[in-house]
Structure 1
Amino acid sequence: MSPSDAPINWKRNLTVAWLGCFLTGAAFSLVMPFLPLYVEQLGITGHSALNMWSGLVYSITFLFSAIASPFWGGLADRKGRKIMLLRSALGMAIVMALMGMAQNVWQFLILRALLGLLGGFVPNANALIATQIPRHKSGWALGTLSTGAVAGALLGPLAGGLMADSYGLRPVFFITAAVLFACFLLTWFSIRENFVPVPKREMLSARDVFGSLKNPKLVLSLFVTTLIIQVATGSIAPILTLYVRDLAGNVNNIAFISGMIASVPGVAALLSAPRLGKLGDRIGPEKILIAALLISVLLLIPMSMVQNPFQLGVLRFLLGAADGALLPAVQTLLVYNSTNQIAGRIFSYNQSFRDIGNVTGPLVGSAVSASFGFRAVFVVTASIVLFNAVYSWISIARASRPGRRKKIAAQG
């Protein structure tokens, strides 16, 4: 048996992919605390101009990632997922280093767009692991993998803020590039994949990909669910600090309190995702998905009525525990409803919807709060999630109906 034919140690691949997602999650979020400060350093002054450019350089990465993800997903299905992980990690490392050398805001904006174009480590890691793990462990494995990027995103801002205070803004980009290059080397030497390249002429078109699915409407509804999850998360982000300030009144440590309340959902998701993923393997990920969506609605509504930051923090912790189950449940259902041949594209399409949600969520939150106040954002977000719960339940029920008919016919 040649080394390339040896059985894949999917548990080792899961561990290494988790570390890769952790490093890329940390690298992306390292620069977030001081992004507006860097824009200011590049020559943008004035409150409105600074706000506009900060929003632009933040969101353009997700916009270009949404555009590029399907292309990279198709290439992953044709060339293999490991090479896409390597391409993503090395490309992002180079772009991050160039960001540290940007001389004006236009260069920085173009590099942020390029970062989105070259990204895609996490969806390709999901596709790699999804095609290697036993199906009955999908929920646990994908739930565990999701905690890597969450943990990185939680620790990244703290580390980025400390390094920016200690070394200045530009060096943080070079440190981030080094972290991404370490991720590239880790992937190169530690992840194994037995993949036979597929000739381009044998690749399915986008229409054929959906035509090959057992339940294309269900898969599309899962994409929409991913989008709405990100809209719900992102809609609260722009107003959270201001809402906390309204609740807390005049206190000196408002930034610390806001940071704590912003991060508690991630901590809760980190704790809940593997456990709820394992429960989903036992009782079905569709039940976990619907339950988590309904619990999210029940937690979002009281957030519009809280009287102090502590109450908001407790509710956001519980919301994070529910949210920790959502994306892994969606990903597990995508695994159940697609084949290994098209896994790369299915996960990349899902990533595109996620990125669109990342762009539109803050816009929705800002627009609602500007027109109706901070508390209205939670009510509107709860309504969107409730619609998603009903829509998902109907889609899942429709998808399972033909199977029930076959079972009844077989018993008869």
Structure 2
Amino acid sequence: MTKVNKKRKLPEWQQNLHVLWFGNFMAGIGFSLITPFMSLYIDSLGKFSQVQLNLWSGITFSSTFLVTAVISPMWGRLADAKGRKLMLMRASLGMAIVIALMGLVTNVYQLVALRFLQGVFSGYISNANALIATETPRERSGQALGTLTTGNVTGTLLGPLLGGIVATAFGYRATFFITGSLLFIVFLLTVFMVHEHFTPIARSEQKPVKELFQSLSHPQIIFGMFVTTLIIQASNNSINPVLSLYVRQLMGQSSGLNIASGIIASIPGIATLIAAPRFGALGDRIGTHKILLFGLVLGLLVYWPQAFVQNIWQLGFLRFLVGIVDAAMLPQVQTLLAKYAPHEITGRIFSYNQSFQATGNVIGPMLGSFVSGSFGYSGVFISSTVLVMINLIWVRFSTRELTTTKK
């Protein structure tokens, strides 16, 4: 019996990885569960013209990330001083309450206000990354972070499918209550099953931002990944506010619109789940930055034709390829940050990255709403292609020192 128990007992870092993978997965689902019908939910809260609906959709999607972009560095500094587990508990419980309240709103102003408040309780994913980076043996950190990233990415991309099904079966409002419940479960798992060995760091001993970046061995790579994260999120999320409306344009008014929107939004998650671990292993052999560059090149070939699809099947196939693109990009950025950020400042590095991520999440939906209002839904995919091209050039520039360094 003792031998069996010893075999089954995982090292703490592996238990943390399993719990936080599930937490990231649920947090991703929690954020994206409402994606396929948010625009339709807003439409049910008042009478809006098409331009007004596009604008309110962009504002609603962006408001959470606007606050997150501003407040994340403060949470990151506090995480380095007080511990990442405390920040994980704060974020999961706060999101559970706020998202549940969204199911009770009576107008779009209340919804936007709660989306702003949701941004205050951001930071679960960035602190999960920081905790895994500091609690995992150095030689396993890249693999662990790559695995952790797939939790969030997969949850984010599979969530809309569940959201579409729940919205069709129980209505829009019930979906918010279910999402809040899921995040409360994440809070409980974090409290009882995540372990952190943390030594508090006095605020007076923490380096100022300027000195922090001057102490980095590879500041160009770190800052380069910040900007890369911003552009990835902007290009991905510019489509979110109008995706369900684009599906409605292709399908017309249909009883299966909610489910179809959920499927189209979720298809990339299937590809990401399959491809991300394989890209991570390949990156360890040939270079993480090379996988990132491959993803950007593939993105150019995938985003552009989405503007010209004639039916839902063509869009679904291209969205599957988007999942492969995401698998080649998002985990690689996190891995590069983990490899080149000292452990004692990991919390702040990942929080700064979350600020850039949130800024991209602000820019993307607003850009998508503006472009769709001016040039139609197809224009959003063309503008996303332009962003991917810019990102490809930027990554090639910011990782050029790695071309002669074995990774």
Alpha-carbon distance in 1 for matches of 2:207, 2:223: 18
Q: Give me the whole-angstrom Cα distance separating, in 2, the residues matched to 1:298 and 1:34.
A: 28
Choose which of 20, 29, 33 in structure 2 pairs with 1:30.
33
Structure 1 residue 176: Cα displacement: 2.7
Match of 1:137 among 129, 136, 140: 140
CA distance in 2, matches of 1:166, 1:301: 34
The 2-side partners of 1:285 and 1:124 are apart by 22
Q: Which residue number corresponds to residue 409 of structure 1? A: none
The one-letter amino acid of 2:358's match is D
Question: How many angstroms does 1:272 deviate by?
Answer: 1.1
Question: What SS is found at the alignment partner of 1:196?
Answer: coil
Q: CA deviation at 1:225?
A: 0.6
Partner of 1:3: none
Structure 1 residue 36 displacement after superposition: 4.7
Contact 1:230 1:358 survives alignment (8 Å): yes
Deviates more, 1:273-282 or 1:258-267: 258-267
Identity level (%): 50
Q: How does 1:369-380 map to 2 (within 5 A)?
A: 369-380=372-383
1:300 matched to 2:307? The reply is no
Residues 307/398 of structure 1: CA separation in 2 closer, same or farther (3 Å cut)? same
| CA distance in structure 2 between the aligned counterparts of 1:318 and 1:272, rounded to whole angstroms | 10
Change (3 A) 1:248 1:57: closer
Of residues 36, 43, 46, the one that matches 1:44 is 46
Residue 407 of structure 1 aligns with which residue? none
Work out the CA distance in 1 between the residues paired with 2:136 and 2:176.
35
Task: State the distance in 1 between where 2:368 and 2:37 align.
Answer: 22
Q: Does 1:263 align with 2:266?
A: yes
2: CA distance, partners of 1:177 / 1:399:
43
**Aligned to 2:332, which of 329, 334, 337?**
329
Which of these residues, 225, 230, 233, is aligned with residue 227 of structure 1?
230
Query: Residues 200-252 of structure 1, C-alpha deviation per residue, up to 9 Å, x if partnerless?
Result: 11011111221111122221111111111111112233444555566668987
Question: Which of the numbers 358, 361, 364 marks the counterpart of 1:361?
Answer: 364
In the alignment, structure 1 residue 92 sits paired with structure 2 residue 95: yes
2:398 to 372, 390, 395: 395
Shift, 1:67, TM fit: 1.1
Q: Which amino acid aligns with 1:335?
A: A
- Answer whether contact 1:215 1:399 (CA < 8 A) is retained: no
Structure of greater Rg: 1
Aligned residue among 71, 74, 98 for 1:71: 74
Equivalent residues of 1:229, 1:385 under 8 A apart: yes
Counterpart mapping for 1:4-403 below 5 A? 9-36=12-39, 39=42, 44-47=46-49, 50-102=53-105, 105-241=108-244, 243-244=246-247, 256-398=259-401
Q: Corresponding residue for 1:410?
A: none
Q: 1:220 and 1:160 mapped to 2: Cα distance? A: 35
1:98 Cα deviation from its structure 2 partner: 3.8
Q: Distance in 1 between matches of 2:232 and 2:398?
A: 17
Q: Distance in 1 between matches of 2:169 and 2:22?
A: 26
Q: Where do 5+ consecutive residues of structure 2 fail to align?
A: 1-9
Report SS of the residue matched to 2:136.
coil
Distance 1:30 1:191, change over 3 A: same
SS in 1 for 2:135: coil
Deviation at 1:317, TM superposition (A): 1.3
- The answer to which of 229-238 and 214-223 deviates more is 229-238
Q: Structure 2 CA distance, aligned partners of 1:192 and 1:229?
A: 32
- Aligned pair count? 396
RMSD: 2.9
- Structure 1 window deviating more from structure 2 (95-104 vs 62-71): it is 95-104
Q: Aligned with 2:207: secondary structure?
A: coil
User: Which is worse superposed, 387-396 or 99-108?
Assistant: 99-108
CA distance in 2 between partners of 1:310 and 1:293 (Å)? 24
Higher deviation after alignment, 206-215 or 158-167: 158-167
The CA distance in 1 between the partners of 2:383 and 2:195, in whole Å, is 45
**CA-to-partner distance for each residue in 1:29-52, whole Å, 9 max, x for gaps?**
3344454565566x6333355554
- CA shift, 1:371, in A, is 3.8
* Aligned 8 A contact 2:36 2:243 in 1: no
| Aligned partners of 2:231 and 2:387 also within 8 Å | yes
**Cα offset for 1:125?**
0.5
Larger CA deviation: 316-325 vs 218-227: 316-325
Report the secondary structure of 2:198's partner residue. Answer: coil
70-79 vs 147-156, which moves further: 147-156
Alignment CA distance shift 1:377-1:278 (3 Å): same
